[in-house]
């Protein structure tokens, strides 16, 4: 492993474990000083190096880098009783590593667990190939994800919250609210109100994202109740993170970005929610 360090590395090796693998941490110099971590894949075929460069020893990026290293995990496929970490494979052989989600839920970190759940779906989306986009294509893409992953996510959330959160809790509420009206839009809104995804008043012009989002009644992630006292069924949340919407709005020269973000903050729910419960029915999640 040390042969991968490079000529400018310092002789200050520290041994640790990253993603279940033995690793070496060290510093190196150059145009910028940097913290580095070397570790191999589970099958030993690849060596990974994580690197965080900084200007000063007390640079905040060093703490961020350490947190990234702590939370790094491999997804894996399982075949012939052995699991190998890889970058991509066919979707029907893919096995998501749920250890981070399980740890976050066990610690009662509902915010972190919600972010990790969305990250899991991003990884499943990537396996669908170029053009697959869960943000704008949830009506078709959700149907292509394995039921096994929906069941795993539901089980972890349900067990950690004693039945308050998870897809099973959301489905029970959907069945109750959907029975009150035949109007598709009203069904989605009543469900959103019941699980705490909707506000009682429209979002004001002064909000963390942009004045263009004023008027929507769908909550931003910062408005959710990340405690065990949150409304039943609030998590996993079905919205789009404020950071992502801000990034989209700040893209230079993007003529449709405002329209895109308005869709993500509002109209997307009317596509996502019915598609989610259609999928949960197919997966026999009750």
SS3 call for 128:
coil
31-40, 107-116, 118-127: which is most confident:
107-116
| Helix axes 99-106 and 110-126, enclosed angle (nearest 10) | 170
Better-scored residue on pLDDT, 276 or 251: 276
Q: Check residue 81 and give its pLDDT.
A: 45
Question: How many other C-beta atoms are found inside a 10 Å radius of the C-beta of residue 104?
Answer: 21
Structure confidence at residue 237 (pLDDT): 98
Residues in the chain: 286
Determine the pLDDT at residue 93: 56
Q: Which among 33, 53, 71 is the end of a domain? A: 71
- Same domain? 31 vs 110: no
pLDDT of residue 70: 82
Q: What is the pLDDT of residue 94?
A: 58
Do residue 60 and residue 106 come from a single domain?
no
Q: Which of 32, 53, 71 is the last residue in one of the domains? A: 71
**Domain membership flag for residue 140:** yes
User: 232: pLDDT confidence band, cut at 50, 70 and 90?
Assistant: very high
Residue range 6-22, pLDDT digits in tens: 767 888 899 988 877 88
**91 found inside a domain:** no
Q: Is 65 helix (H, G, I), strand (E, B) or coil?
A: helix
Name the strands in the sheet holding 94-95, side by side, starting at the edge strand that comes first in the sequence. 82-85, 76-79, 94-95
Q: Phi and psi of 276, rounded to 5°? A: -60, -45
268 and 155 in one domain?
yes
Structure tokens at 244: 């992502």
For residue 145, the enclosing domain spans 101-286
* pLDDT-based confidence at residue 90 (cuts at 50, 70, 90): very low
Instruction: Let me know whether 67 and 112 are in one domain.
Output: no
The reply to whether 110 and 38 lie within a common domain is: no
Instruction: Tell whether 158 and 236 lie within a shared domain.
Output: yes
Residues 6+ apart with CB under 8 A from 85: 19, 41, 42, 43, 74, 75, 76
- Reported confidence tier of residue 176, pLDDT bands at 50, 70, 90: very high
- How many distinct structural domains can be found in the chain? 2
Query: Same structural domain for residues 183 and 283?
Result: yes
Retrieve residue 12's tokens: 């200050």
CA-CA distances (angstroms) from residue 225 to 2, 114, 208, 222, 232? 46, 12, 17, 8, 11
Confidence band, pLDDT 50/70/90 cuts, at residue 221? very high
Please confirm whether the linkage preceding 236 is cis (ω < 30° from 0).
yes
Asked if residue 114 and residue 18 are part of one domain, the reply reads no
Task: For residues 52 and 173, state if they share a domain.
Answer: no
Write down the pLDDT at residue 184. Answer: 97
Based on the fold, state whether residues 41 and 122 are members of the same structural domain.
no
Q: Which residues of 256-280 are buried (b: 16+ CB within 10 A; e: fewer)?
A: ebeebbbbbbbebbbbbbbbbbebb
pLDDT score at 139 = 86
**Which pLDDT value is given to residue 7?**
67
The percentage of residues in the chain with a pLDDT greater than 90, rounded to a whole number, is: 55
CA dist 72 and 65 (Å) reads: 11
Q: 105 and 61 in one domain?
A: no
The model's pTM is 0.76
């Amino acid at each position: 492993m040390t042969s991968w360090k490079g000529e400018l590395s310092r002789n200050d090796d520290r041994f640790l474990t990253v993603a279940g693998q033995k690793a070496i941490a060290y510093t190196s110099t150059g145009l910028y000083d940097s913290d580095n971590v070397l570790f191999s894949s589970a099958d030993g075929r690849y060596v990974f190096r994580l690197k965080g460069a900084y200007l000063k020893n007390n640079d905040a990026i060093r703490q961020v880098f350490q947190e990234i290293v702590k939370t790094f995990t491999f997804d894996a496929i399982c075949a012939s009783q052995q699991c190998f970490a890889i970058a991509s494979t066919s979707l029907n052989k893919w096995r998501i590593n749920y250890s981070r989600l399980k740890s976050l839920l066990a610690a009662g970190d509902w915010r972190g667990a919600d972010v990790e759940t969305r990250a899991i779906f991003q990884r499943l989306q990537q396996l669908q190939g170029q053009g697959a986009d869960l943000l704008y294509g949830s009506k078709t893409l959700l149907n292509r994800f394995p039921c096994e992953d929906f069941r795993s996510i539901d089980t972890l959330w349900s067990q950690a919250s004693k039945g308050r959160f998870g897809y099973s809790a959301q489905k029970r509420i959907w069945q109750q609210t959907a029975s009150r009206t035949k109007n598709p839009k009203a069904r989605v809104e009543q469900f959103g109100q019941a699980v705490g995804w909707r506000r009682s008043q429209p979002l004001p012009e002064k909000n963390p994202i942009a004045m263009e989002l004023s008027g929507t009644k769908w909550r931003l992630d910062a408005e959710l109740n990340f405690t065990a006292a949150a409304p039943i069924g609030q998590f996993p949340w079905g919205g789009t993170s404020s950071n992502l919407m801000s990034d989209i709005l700040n893209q230079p020269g993007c003529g449709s970005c405002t329209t895109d973000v308005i869709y993500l903050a509002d109209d997307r729910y009317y596509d996502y929610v019915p598609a989610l419960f259609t999928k949960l029915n197919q997966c026999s999640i009750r």
